[in-house]
Amino acid sequence: MPVDVMAGWRNRVSSILGTEYPILLGPMRLITLGELAAAVSKCGGFGQVAASGLEGEQLRNELVKARGLTKRPIGVNIPVYRPNAVEALEIAIEMGVKTVTTSAGNPARLMGRIREAGLKVLHKVSTVEMAKKAEVAGVDGVIATGFEAGGHVGREQITTMCLVPQLVDAVKVPVIAAGGIADARGIVAAFALGAEGVEMGTRFLATLECPAPSFYKERVRDAMCDETFLLGKEAMPIRVLKNEVTARVAGMEQPEADKVIISKGDASYVQSGGDPETAVMPCGQSAGMVKEIASVQEVFSRLTGGVDSILERLGQSFFGRRER
Ligand X SMILES: Cc1cc2nc3c(=O)[nH]c(=O)nc-3n(C[C@H](O)[C@H](O)[C@H](O)COP(=O)(O)O)c2cc1C
Considering only residues 68-97, where is the footprint of ligand X by CB under 6 A? 77, 79
| Minimum gap (Å) between residue 126 Cβ and ligand X | 10
Of 54, 85, 149, 188, the residue at the interface with ligand X (CB under 6 A) is 149
186 binds ligand X (CB under 6 A): no
DSSP assignment letter at 31: T
284 binds ligand X (CB under 6 A): yes
Cβ atoms 62, 51 nearer than 8 A: no
Quick one: which segment of 55-63, 88-96, 142-150, 162-170 binds ligand X (CB under 6 A)? 142-150
282 binds ligand X (CB under 6 A): yes
77 or 99, CB closer to ligand X? 77
Taking every pair of Cα atoms in the chain, the longest distance, rounded to a whole number of angstroms, is 64
Considering only residues 241-280, where is the footprint of ligand X by CB under 6 A? none
Among residues 140, 155, 75, the alpha carbon closest in space to that of 107 is found at 140
Of 283, 299, 303, 307, the residue at the interface with ligand X (CB under 6 A) is 283
124 binds ligand X (CB under 6 A): yes
Contacts by residues 5-14 (CB-CB < 8 Å, ≥ 24 positions apart): 5/307, 5/308, 5/311, 8/311, 9/304, 11/174, 11/196, 11/197, 12/141, 12/174, 12/196, 13/141, 13/174, 13/176, 13/196, 13/197, 14/197
Map residue 196 onto helix, strand or coil. coil
135 or 154, CB closer to ligand X? 154
178 or 294, CB closer to ligand X? 178
145 binds ligand X (CB under 6 A): yes
Among residues 7, 12, 11, the alpha carbon closest in space to that of 173 is found at 12
Quick one: which segment of 224-232, 247-255, 282-290, 311-319 binds ligand X (CB under 6 A)? 282-290
Of 13, 17, 23, 28, the residue at the interface with ligand X (CB under 6 A) is 28
Quick one: which segment of 9-17, 26-34, 129-137, 248-256 binds ligand X (CB under 6 A)? 26-34
Of 22, 141, 154, 179, the residue at the interface with ligand X (CB under 6 A) is 179
Helix/strand/coil (H, E, C) string of 221-261?
HHCCCCCEEEECCCCCCEEEECCHHHHHHHCCCHHHHHHHH
Q: If phi over 0 gives left and psi between -120 and 50 gives alpha, with beta otherwise, what is residue 33?
A: beta
- Number of Cβ atoms within 10 Å of the Cβ of 161: 16
Considering only residues 199-228, where is the footprint of ligand X by CB under 6 A? 199-203, 205
Characterize the bridge pairing of strands 238-241 and 228-231. Answer: antiparallel
150 binds ligand X (CB under 6 A): yes
Q: How many CA atoms lie within 13 A of 307 on its CB side?
A: 25
| Minimum gap (Å) between residue 31 Cβ and ligand X | 5
Query: Residue 13 and residue 10: Cα distance in Å, rounded?
Result: 8
Residues making contact with ligand X (CB under 6 A): 26-29, 31, 50, 52, 77, 79, 103, 124, 145, 148-151, 178-181, 199-203, 205, 282-284, 286
